């Protein structure tokens, strides 16, 4: 059943996916604001604003917001990415209207109290420090910086201690007004709910939401990978490696081929990387590949870690497996295995109401409409070994790579 689109009296779009057999409902408020749209002086503002929306409104202080979130049960949280922010709740059906009222209050009436702002700035600075202490986070961020070059995607979503320290209360309020309005936001809801009751709650919740401002559309920097290398000397037990290769935009017609190839390369225990690096040679405990897609480009990333004395051997094996993508087609058994993994991830995931709501949001953001599951399944079924081999050759993985190495320079 296609998503049902509703429009509130203030112009806010709501997309619903009723599942009457469910005992729960999931609701998400999506904002077309992400770290890639920030100015250099605003680095980290989108994520910081996400935090600040939970810190008080005229009707609720931060403690009362936390109490109400816990009282409603289920899960209520938010996340920020390079291209979006989402505030969501997954809870029992009878509580979804009350969750909508709470979300609307946070996203239209937050006061951004100066004391709360100073306190939360410290919290996020600690979050940045924690990320820097995580070798996998750090080697990945270093990869982004050399892979994306001077593009905003190279900057950390969290920002930096320097950029966070410069934010004033008025800076936060200005950024909030620029991005939180009916032209930049929409709502998705899936599961069991009464639409008349939920609509009434949403109308009340977002009654103060401003209309889209009459101003020029924001500009975006074109996506051009830089394909460079970086090595950071750091006292660690292991060498951490991240390799970046060309990915695809979210809505690209070859996304299914990329997903199948990625599962074959490093998506599970039977994958080429897991078998060659871990099972046959014992070079690493963790080795995998993963795809990351944006509206105008993407990144295929390989990650692994090993002892410093094994760095060259690890990099050589990873290079051989990358080259193999362009020279050796998948066997029919390998392709069937990859197809089953991709299908299972999709279909079993959609048994979760929260996952359905999340898919709705991403569909609307990137396609502007539902992408039927049947369409995705058909693309998976239609893929052949020759299709994947041709795709890999066209991407040119062997010749276009970024490399990030973190750990001790000396063995």
Q: Which tokens belong to 172?
A: 């936060």
Contact 27, 201 (CB under 8 A): no
What is the predicted pLDDT for the residue at 217? 59
Say yes or no: 182 and 246 in one domain.
no
Residue 218 resides in a domain: no
Do 130 and 75 lie in a common domain?
yes
**Which pLDDT score is estimated for 45?**
98
Other residues' Cβ atoms within 10 Å of the Cβ of residue 340: 12
Same domain, 56 and 164: yes
Domain tally, the chain: 2
H-only helix segments in 95-134: 96-109, 114-133
Q: Look at residues 45, 46, 239 and name the one whose alpha carbon lies nearest to residue 142.
A: 239
> Same domain, yes or no, for 197 and 250?
no
Are 92 and 144 part of one and the same domain?
A: yes
61 - beta bridge partners?
A: 56
Residue 371 located in a structural domain: yes
What's the confidence (pLDDT) of residue 1?
A: 75
DSSP string, 237-295: SSEEEEEEEE---TT-TTHHHHHHHHHHHHSSTTSHHIIIIIITT---S-EEEEEEE-S
**Three-class SS state of 158:** coil
What residues make up the domain containing 78? 4-205
Q: Is residue 214 part of a domain?
A: no
Based on the domain organization, do 274 and 321 belong to the same domain? yes
Query: What does the pLDDT read at residue 134?
Result: 98
> What's phi and psi for 193, nearest 5 deg?
-160, 160
Q: What is the CATH number of the domain that holds 284?
A: 3.30.830.10
Domain boundary among 170, 205, 240: 205
Q: Is residue 216 part of a domain?
A: no
Last residue of a domain, one of 205, 240, 266: 205
158 and 298 share one domain: no
Residue 221 in domain: no
Which is catalytic among the residues 38, 42, 50, 145?
Answer: 50
Between CA 333 and CA 379 the distance in angstroms is 18
250 part of a folded domain = yes
Low-confidence ranges of the chain (pLDDT < 50): none
Strand (E) or helix (H) holding 191: strand 185-191
Record the pTM: 0.95
Report yes or no on 115 lying in a domain: yes
- Asked if residue 149 and residue 9 are part of one domain, the reply reads yes
- Catalytic residue status for 50: yes
Do 192 and 239 reside in the same domain of the chain?
Answer: no
Structure-token pair, residue 125: 């600075």
Same domain assignment for residues 401 and 356: yes
Q: Which residues of 276-315 are buried (b: 16+ CB within 10 A; e: fewer)?
A: bbbeeeebbeebbbebbbbbbbbbbbbbbbbbeebbeebb
* Domain membership flag for residue 211: no
23 and 158 part of one domain:
yes
Rounded (10°) CA dihedral 37, 209, 78, 17: -110
Are 273 and 377 in the same domain? yes
Residue 401, CA distances (Å) to 144, 222, 241 in order: 12, 19, 13
């Amino acid at each position: 059943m296609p998503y049902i689109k509703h429009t509130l009296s203030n112009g806010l779009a709501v997309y619903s996916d009723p599942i009457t057999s469910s005992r729960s409902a999931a609701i998400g408020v999506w904002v077309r604001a992400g770290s890639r749209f920030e100015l250099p002086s605003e680095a980290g503002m989108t994520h910081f604003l996400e935090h600040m929306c939970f810190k008080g409104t005229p009707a609720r202080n931060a403690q009362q917001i936390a109490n109400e979130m816990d009282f409603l049960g289920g899960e209520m949280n938010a996340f920020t990415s390079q291209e979006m922010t989402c505030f969501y709740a997954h809870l029992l059906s009878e509580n979804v209207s009350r969750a909508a009222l709470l979300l609307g209050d946070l996203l239209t009436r937050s006061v951004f109290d100066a004391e709360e702002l100073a306190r939360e700035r410290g919290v996020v600075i600690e979050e940045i420090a924690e990320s820097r202490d995580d070798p996998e986070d750090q080697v990945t961020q270093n990869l982004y910086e050399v892979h994306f070059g001077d593009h905003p995607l190279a900057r950390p979503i969290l920002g930096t201690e320097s950029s966070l320290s410069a934010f004033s209360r008025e800076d936060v309020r200005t950024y909030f007004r620029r991005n939180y309005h009916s032209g930049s936001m929409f709502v998705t809801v899936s599961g069991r709910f009464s639409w008349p009751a939920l609509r009434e709650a949403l109308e009340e919740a977002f009654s103060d939401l401003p209309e889209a401002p009459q101003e020029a559309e924001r500009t975006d920097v074109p996506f051009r990978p830089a394909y460079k290398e970086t090595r950071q000397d750091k006292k660690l037990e292991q060498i951490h490696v991240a390799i970046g290769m060309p990915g695809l935009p979210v809505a690209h017609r070859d996304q299914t081929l990329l997903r199948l190839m990625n599962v074959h390369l490093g998506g599970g225990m039977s994958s080429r990387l897991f078998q060659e690096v871990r099972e046959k040679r014992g070079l690493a405990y963790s080795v995998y590949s993963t795809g990351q897609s944006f509206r105008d480009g993407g990144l295929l990333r390989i990650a692994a870690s090993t002892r410093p004395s094994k760095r060259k051997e690890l990099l050589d094996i990873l290079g051989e497996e990358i080259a193999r993508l362009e020279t050796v087609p998948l066997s029919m058994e390998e392709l069937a295995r990859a197809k089953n993994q991709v299908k299972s991830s999709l279909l079993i995931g959609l048994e979760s109401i929260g996952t359905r709501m999340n898919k709705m949001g991403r569909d609307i953001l990137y396609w502007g409409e539902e992408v039927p599951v049947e369409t995705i399944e058909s693309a998976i079924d239609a893929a052949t070994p020759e299709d994947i081999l041709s795709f890999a050759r066209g991407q040119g993985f062997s010749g276009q790579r970024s490399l990030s190495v973190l750990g001790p320079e000396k063995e």
